Amino acid sequence: MNTLVMTVGVLAAALAAVQPASAQTTLDAVRSKGYVQCGVNTGLAGFSQPDSKGMWRGIDVDLCRAVSAAVFGDAAKVRYTPLTAQQRFTALQSGEVDVLARNTTWTITRDTSLGLNFVGVNYYDGQGFMVPKKLNVKSAKQLNGATVCVQPGTTTELNLADYFRANRMTFKPVVIEKLEEVLNAYFAGRCDVYTTDVSGLVAVRASRAPNPADHVILPEVISKEPLGPVVRHGDDRWFDVVKWSLFAMLEAEELGLGAKTIDQHLNSTNPSIQRFTGATGDIGKALGLDNRWAYSIVKQVGNYGESFERNLVPLGFERGLNRLWTQGGLMYAPPIR
């Protein structure tokens, strides 16, 4: 009996010792350290890449900035961790980063078996192929026997194998982890084809090719690639904060609220705008944030359309599926009410 009592006592003490650490949410930890640690691509134009002054730019970067604006009222309180495709999930699982915003595809395996939650989609994409124009290839169906550059640990690698097998074709993979190295291999002619999400092909051709006109993106799109931010399982408050930061950017575009115009709407009689700007309601408190959380996002980062226009349009991107639902696209935010 004494042994049992001692065992129970030791277990209770151990549980008590662990409780404070497990009780601290990601939001608490972020506030405590004073910044959001955001995992991003090592360098993909339009999504996350440092400019000539070392400032990170891109639609994924803007999501990180939106979360910072919501939490701190200051979009600048972000630190960035560049991650390869192989590193990204481990970095999030281990707590090295608070949120992963790295053009990552939402799949059932990643959503269920990695201990992660996708908060939504900030870019609807699909996988494609880019080839040198001089090869005179017009269709992916002509790629039988081709040498293909691809990154490991990606849905791209799996889709590539599926596509060639389904079409009874063969290929020779050149598998290289780092984006910089895989691009060097393609542009040096070590492979006939480079495959990744179409967004990546557009960005690479515009920003990295010595002469973009020398490279052709083939018409086939062989997969669905919904790209979005990711957080860890088990912390619903942080999940909500990141999710609604994304939704706020979409809702702002639908409401016609932009970085330069939102102040003109602070006295609006539109109930949706009143709730959005924090003039009425207590939505911020429900998230554990200030009621002007959404206003801060738009004022400092802009709405989704502004982010797209700023980061992707200069590279030749079209809105396509990423238009608002009211314009025939797939972008849709649940009601902020």
Q: What angle do CA 307, 309, 314 make, to 5 degrees?
A: 125
Indicate if 239 and 117 belong to the same structural domain: yes
Average pLDDT over residues 10-23: 40
Both tokens assigned to 283? 């939505």
Please, which pLDDT band fits residue 213 given cuts at 50, 70 and 90? very high
CATH of the domain at 134: 3.40.190.10
Does residue 209 share a domain with residue 60? Answer: no
Render the burial of 123-151: b for 16+ CB within 10 Å, e for the rest.
bbbbbbbbbbeeeebeebeebeebbbbbb
Element (H, E) at 243: helix 236-255
pLDDT at 24: 80
235 and 217 in a single domain? The answer is no
Question: Which phi and psi (to 5°) does residue 193 adopt?
Answer: -135, 145
In a domain, 84, yes or no: yes
The number of CA neighbours under 13 Å toward the Cβ of 37 is 15
Query: In terms of domains, do 180 and 238 share one?
Result: no
Asked if the model's pLDDT at residue 162 lies above 70, the reply is yes
Domain annotation covers residue 16 = no
Rounded to the nearest angstrom, the gap between the alpha carbon of residue 1 and the centroid of all alpha carbons in its chain is 56
Are residues 68 and 187 located together in one domain of the fold?
no
**Looking at the structure, do residues 147 and 289 belong to the same domain, yes or no?**
no
pLDDT computed for residue 19 by the predictor: 38
Identify whether 112 is part of a domain: yes
pLDDT band at 7 (very low <50, low <70, confident <90, very high): very low
In a domain, 11, yes or no: no
Over residues 178-206, the mean pLDDT reads 96
Q: Domain count for the chain, please give it.
A: 2
Tens of pLDDT, residue by residue over 224-280, are: 999 999 999 999 999 999 999 999 999 999 999 999 999 999 999 999 999 999 999
Residue 171 confidence (pLDDT) above 60: yes
Tell me the whole-structure pTM to 2 decimals: 0.90
Q: Please tell me whether residues 202 and 288 are part of one structural domain.
A: no
Mean pLDDT score across all residues of the chain? 93
Identify whether residues 43 and 166 lie together within a single domain.
Answer: no
Question: Same domain for 263 and 279?
Answer: yes
- Kindly give the pairing relationship between strand 78-83 and strand 225-227: unpaired
Q: Domain boundary residue among 223, 253, 281? A: 223
Phi, psi of 123 (to 5 degrees): -160, 120
Domain boundary among 207, 223, 239: 223
Question: Is position 332 within any domain?
Answer: no
Residues 262 and 317 in one domain: yes
pLDDT band at 105 (very low <50, low <70, confident <90, very high): very high
Neighbouring residues of 157: CB distance < 8 A, sequence distance ≥ 6:
150, 151, 173, 175
Q: Are residues 105 and 184 in the same domain?
A: no
Question: Which of 194, 223, 252 is a domain's end point?
Answer: 223
Split at pLDDT 50, 70, 90, the class of 23 is: low
Asked whether residue 336 is assigned to any structural domain, the reply reads no
335 is a domain residue: no
Provide the pLDDT confidence category of residue 88 given band limits of 50, 70 and 90.
very high
Is 2 domain-assigned? no
- Asked if residue 136 and residue 113 are part of one domain, the reply reads no
Domain of 263?
Answer: 26-124+227-327
